[in-house]
Structure 1
């Protein structure tokens, strides 16, 4: 039974702790940290600063007389860049052109070097893969290291794309995958990967799903009730807290329709920076309003309703990704330049 819209809205605005991995300046490998020195301030700098702050006679006169001051002239170089319309911004965020602004530079390099690889930022993943990724991303590591770990485990030679594949690989291969990812908390994350696969196969997998990718039994046992599903996953998956659940439910809602629409607090902040609706009802309405004018060629989905849900999830992910990479403003400017 689908939850009432009011309930979804309350869930969307619930205060969530800032995900440890979703802070671009969180802990990273020591050899990759390059402190930037502040330039020294000289007496000449101080003198120039005071002169710059001192108002001219002309400006004093205008201020004292109450006359409106003329706006300062601006050269073409410093002119304000055009702001995109809501339709332009949504359309750009759904395009493949936006992908590079929504993921770390090393992922862009890996894609150009390796070609068609599975990534968290752009690939369509099954529910098990989404759960595995949520567990990895909820670890106290940087966004960059989280996505690198996901690229490693989802592609050759590991291909941890189902619960059965992970279980068959064994503990040694789990650890090797995390070492190859050159990430942090390798041993702990490797243990969690094995644990997730075991739980999914023993508790979440329905008959007919031999690979353990859909987790339908968990849904059926919870009566497809959102609150029950969140609690069941939290109780069953060791180390999966609110942060990981928000990441998982944000991504899988286009497949599990009872969850839709859902916006977590972290994503709401990212939407705000882009000037998009943060309300759980308003953003889907905006997508509906502009749907006919959007290029949805690359949006997954078997029918229009599914494609709209997938478009909603894509907008959320690219808002969050661009924010984590410090590129929200660059994304807006790129959309306005089209």
Structure 2
């Protein structure tokens, strides 16, 4: 059972933020200036009377010939960054280097501290793990908390990598996993993943899939019809809605190829920011067209067809990951320089 909560000590009173100064505004280079400073300064002393004669009209209009004025130097600040070609962008997004721009900082720190742990952003997951992750990510919590919860339940000491492992862990261990994840809605989520494991074991497993990791019965019952699969899963799993199903089918399409190529509405926004095709067929065609030039050595898959599907899933995940982390411009800049 979760440890008892101790009363939090009362810390020093937080300082109140400084009040805004009336008339203060931010200049184009980010430096704050007051309204008074921004006004043109009008001198109060009268101008000294000059005793020199004004230059003649001829002298005034004479253009200098020996030392022509140079054009003012233009500052590079504010210049638009160079945009990568689509081939450059795809090549970079499929490389391991791009991964750091597509995951939260706490995940990077966790990997550095714990070593090669399994993560949502970079590990190969089976269909049950993908469904478990989709359920967690569709909860009303932040994306970072969702990813931290996933890292907790997929690794030691929990290893909820199949429906059987999740079910056999028992209620107490599932609740402890959510407490260790330091997430929100712990009890509700723990109950939901327990219910998910039961449903998968009862309704989604087939004879050659005893631990429920592949959920092959869903495909058999629905004969590969994606619309029927979505309806069947939504009716079976309590709390699994459109968002969770879209996350699941976006991720699992490299394994369940009937749904390929699929791009959900949320990922369309991220692709638009990067300048990549927002339509599934168009993005598939682009990957096919550039396949020979892409960095594909680290992609999972038994053959080229499977690796191409995995490539599309990877591009989608890194597009949405960089967007959620506010790093899509950094991704574009890095791709242009690669």
TM-score (norm. length: structure 2): 0.81
Matches within 5 A, 1:97-116: 97-116=97-116
Measured in 2, the distance between the counterparts of 1:142 and 1:287 equals 31
Higher-RCO chain (CA-CA 8 Å, sequence separation at least 6)? 1
Moved more, 74-83 or 235-244: 74-83
CA-CA distance at 1:113 after TM superposition: 1.2
Q: 1:76 offset after TM fit, Å?
A: 3.6
Residues 167-246 of structure 1 mapped to structure 2, 5 A cutoff = 167-246=167-246
For residues 289 and 127 of structure 1, the distance between their equivalents in structure 2, rounded to whole angstroms, comes to 28
Which contiguous aligned blocks of 4+ residues in structure 1 show a shift greater than 4 angstroms? Answer: 35-39, 41-44, 47-51
In the other structure, the counterpart of 1:285 is: 285
Shift of 1:120: 0.2
TM-superposed CA distance for 1:101, in Å, is: 1.0
CA distance in 1, matches of 2:38, 2:206: 70
Measure, in 1, the Cα distance between the counterparts of 2:204 and 2:84.
44
Matched with 2:46 is none
| Distance of 2:262 and 2:298 partners within structure 1 | 22
Equivalent residue, structure 2, for 1:8: none
CA deviation map 1:75-115 (0-9, x unaligned): 24544322111111111111111111111110010011111
1:141-182 deviation per Cα after TM superposition (whole angstroms, max 9, x unaligned): 000000000000000000000011001100000000000000
Distance 1:79 1:246, change over 3 A: same
CA distance in 2, matches of 1:88, 1:38: 47
Shift in alpha-carbon separation, 1:300–1:107, aligned structure 2, 3 A: same
Displacement of 1:289 after TM fit?
A: 1.2
Between the aligned partners of 1:78 and 1:242, the Cα distance in structure 2 is 41
- Structure 2 residue aligned with 1:327: 327
Q: Does 1:40 align with 2:44?
A: no
Once the two structures are TM-superposed, the CA of residue 47 in structure 1 deviates from its matched residue by: 4.2
Alignment partners' CA distance in 2, 1:188 and 1:249 = 24
Tell me, in whole angstroms, the C-alpha distance in 2 between the residues paired with 1:305 and 1:94: 16
**TM-score after normalising by structure 1:** 0.81
- Determine helix, strand or coil for the equivalent of 1:167: helix
Deviation at 1:45, TM superposition (A): 2.2
Structure 1: unaligned runs, 5 residues or longer = 1-34, 52-70
Matched, 1:164 2:164: yes
Q: Which residue of 1 aligns with 2:302?
A: 302
Cα RMSD (Å): 2.0
Which is greater in Rg? 2
**Structure 1: distance between partners of 2:233 and 2:72:** 58
Q: How does 1:304-319 map to 2 (within 5 A)?
A: 304-319=304-319
